[in-house]
Chain A
Amino acid sequence: MNFDDTPQEAEFRAKARAFLSQHLEKLDPNQTAPNLLGEREDKGAIAWAKRWQATKFDAGWAVLTWPKEYGGQGLGRMENVIFNQEEARFETPPPIYGIGHGMLGPTLMTHGTKEQKERYVKEMARGQVVWCQLFSEPAAGSDLAGLRASAVRDGADWILNGQKIWSTGAHFCDWGMIVVRTDPNVPKHDGLTYFIVDMRAKGVEIRPIKQINGATGFNEVFFTDVRVPDTQRVGGIGEGWKVSITTLMNERVSIGAGTTGGRIRDVFRLASEARRNGRPAIEDGAVRQQLADAFITSKGLQYTSYRILSALSRGATPGPEGSISKAVGAPFGQRLAAFALELQGAMGGLVDPALAPQEALWQQAYLGSPGLRIAGGTDEVLRNIIAERVLGLPSETRMDKGMPFRDVPTGPTKR
């Protein structure tokens, strides 16, 4: 057991740092983490993200864990984490490649045809085209396999109709990966098929969703008679669920522990600056107890991710400890933000970054935190997963088991 870099890891870290220093501005460690200050997905930021990705790719620092044949570097997850740790010390554009590089690329590598891998995966690596995921629907979230968007065969093509929702970044993406129903006469998991869809195709309409934090990172996407060639089908007809699982497994690996929305040290700094009973809040016993708990949970999540990384980097399947990162991290992020706002007293009521403490980081984190408890597996679904797959407790009673999809009851509310 060793928490320090091996000599090889230290050498890799130094090389990464040298490369990053050539191209990026170093962050002041006492400045509030900038990527968290709201969404920065305007046109300029997207162009900046694409330039930075091209720079990384051309210098051999992009998609490090991907095989070389797809434009990656064939490195291990440990090197990837080291690079990410180092990159986080610099000012960078908003992260827009998480879904493509973390989830969709690996899905195509596993299930795509030779032509699809040639055509799409290599291009994805350099990041000049951006990809989104089209899974959730207004009436299919936790029960994703209950989705209703459909595709009907028409010669060499398929005709897509229906609505997708919560598609991150769809408004600036070029391609999407979509799962739709191709057969309503079989049980729900058996009638799904997975496609690549051109987001600029005729009949695709993208509407941003305004979230409770005022940002519009997600979209509703409407498909009206959208023509998709059969060559863009990923996996067999009716095998869409199996392909989706590959995507979702990679999602859980990608989401990991980084869901707190702010750094624990920022809360300690805030407690040093805020006052309570005429003294710095950090001198208050109750505040100190809460600071301790926040630190312990935060470190517990960090070391849990290291444990997963250690297991993955020696080729093991991720152990059950992986499932707790989001189950603990997402609600913790909300509690942490609420605590930070409590420390701010009346100033916690402001949202103007020019006036609110730490540039309103915690106001934004608190407004954003409910989303993290829902996206990518709700708190409740994650607890079911831990209960069933880790502890081996009985699975939920399913009223629709074995039933043809067309007969599955639906409520009066579709949304």
Chain B
Amino acid sequence: MNLEFSDEQKFVQKTARDYLTENAPLSLCRAVLEGNKPYDPALWKGVAEMGWLGTAVPETYGGAGLSHLELVLIAQELGRALAPIPFASSVYLATEAILQAGSEAQKQKYLPRLAAGETIGTLALAEGLGDFDAESAAGTSFDGSRLTGVKVPVSDGAAANFAVVVAKEGAGHSLVLVDLEGEGVTRTALASFDPSRPLARLELRGARGERLGAAGAGAQVARDVLDRAAVMMGYEQIGGAERALELTRAFTMGRFAFGRPVASFQALKHRMADVYAQTQIALSNGYFAAWALGSGSDELAVAACSTRVAASDAFVLASEEMIQMHGGVGFTWEYDCHLFYRRARALAAALGTPNEWREKLVSRLEASGFVSGTGSRELAAD
């Protein structure tokens, strides 16, 4: 057993940290928040040039041919920087879906352009209120060549060039690739809780689509893709929580009341310790999930749920405490606290909420033999 990232993997992370420190200050996130663009194109171009978009894409398709262990560390750094780019939609979701289910021709067509950042993809699943799973996507149908239905909300739907749409086909669900700039697609940018992670509405009226994977296999592929994305986004959330805590620490050390730094009061010290502890619990679950993701272990089904819940909760807690410990200025538009507060909430709402993943976790544990003691060695080790 060895639960450490290798020196090479840590070097990838350090490179990412250095690059983002230089090129993605929080003012970049704020500019997207306050401006009209759905993301920062210069940072997107830079991230593409760094090769991060194709981190886990094989070299034959224009990627770096590394593993998901490198990718989660890059995600952690993007989370720290609150990077205002459609990385999650394009890399965790669209690229993963094509890697998982794409035909050879589809991989050759899409992956090199995704890795180069020349095309942006996303996943179109949700249809209003409901669980974030294929079974809830009942209002969009695919007849083998054309798509009809409304998808809302779709992450980065206004910025993306294509979407992987989850649609009904016959009795089951299929994944369908659709060109968002083509005929029969109307998209509307929506006012979003975190404008640096903007949402959109997609209306599909006979839009031409191409099946990704087998007909009827869409629900299973979507589940696999969401599990994988949950781990990567978990690292992004952990990165966000770590940065929120660091900034809270720095502020409370410099802010004096009653003749001493407010960071010296136990009421604040103990809560900062709790934020740290919750973030570490999330990270420890994340280590296991990253290993399961990188090694193809079927423990991923459970580990993804744990990481998704723990990381979402840790980032939300860190961002709430960040505002509280800043006091009045934390509630101003001018201070950066709300950037974290918005991002934490946006990421917790993406991919299905933590409560949905709690339910998934227990269902999967029941199915795994955990309760009866017939599960895997890892699950039995309690």
Interchain CB contact (< 8 A) of A383 among B273, B285, B310, B382: B273
Given A289-B359, A304-B284, A328-B277: A296 and B2 interface contact (C-beta under 8 Å): no
Interchain CB contact (< 8 A) of A390 among B3, B276, B370: B276
CB distance from B232 to the nearest CB of A (A): 15
Render B246-267 as a binary contact track against A, CB cut-off 8 A, 1 for contact: 0001001100000011011010
In the assembled complex, the Cα of A388 lies from the Cα of B276 at a distance in Å of 12
A410 on interface, CB distance cutoff 8 Å: no
Contact-size category for B:
35 or more
* Contact, CB under 8 Å: A2 / B249: no
B75 on interface, CB distance cutoff 8 Å: no
Question: What residues of chain A lie closer than 8 Å to B253, measured between beta carbons?
Answer: 393-394
* Contact, CB under 8 Å: B276 / A310: no
Residues facing A in B282-308 (CB within 8 A) are 282-285, 287-288, 290-292, 294-295, 297, 305-306
A288 on interface, CB distance cutoff 8 Å: yes
Question: What residues of chain A lie closer than 8 Å to B5, measured between beta carbons?
Answer: 1
Question: What residues of chain A lie closer than 8 Å to B295, measured between beta carbons?
Answer: 2
Interchain CB contact (< 8 A) of A295 among B283, B306, B359: B306
Q: Is chain B's binding surface mostly helix, strand, loop or mixed?
A: helix
Question: What residues of chain A lie closer than 8 Å to B276, measured between beta carbons?
Answer: 324, 386, 390-391
CB distance from A411 to the nearest CB of B (A): 19
- Binding-face segment, B139-147, B206-214, B361-369: B361-369
Residue of B249, B253, B287 with highest tally of chain A CB at under 10 A: B287
Residues facing B in A203-259 (CB within 8 A) are none
Given A384-B269, A393-B253: A296 and B1 interface contact (C-beta under 8 Å): no
Question: What residues of chain B lie closer than 8 Å to A393, measured between beta carbons?
Answer: 249, 252-253, 263-264, 268-269, 272
- Binding-face segment, A148-156, A187-195, A264-272: A264-272
Interchain CB contact (< 8 A) of B281 among A5, A282, A328, A383: A328
Question: What residues of chain A lie closer than 8 Å to B269, measured between beta carbons?
Answer: 383-384, 387-388, 391, 393
Render A26-64 as a binary contact track against B, CB cut-off 8 A, 1 for contact: 000110000000000000000000000000000000000
B4 on interface, CB distance cutoff 8 Å: yes
Q: A residues near B, CB below 8 A?
A: 1-6, 9, 29-30, 78, 85, 263-265, 268-269, 272, 282, 285, 288-289, 291-293, 295-304, 306-307, 309-311, 314, 321, 324, 327-328, 380, 382-384, 386-388, 390-394, 396-397
User: Could you list 19 further interchain pairs (A-B, Cβ under 8 angstroms) beyond the known A288-B358, A387-B269?
Assistant: A1-B291, A4-B1, A6-B2, A30-B372, A265-B373, A288-B362, A292-B358, A292-B362, A295-B365, A298-B382, A300-B280, A300-B306, A302-B382, A304-B284, A306-B1, A314-B4, A383-B273, A384-B266, A397-B264
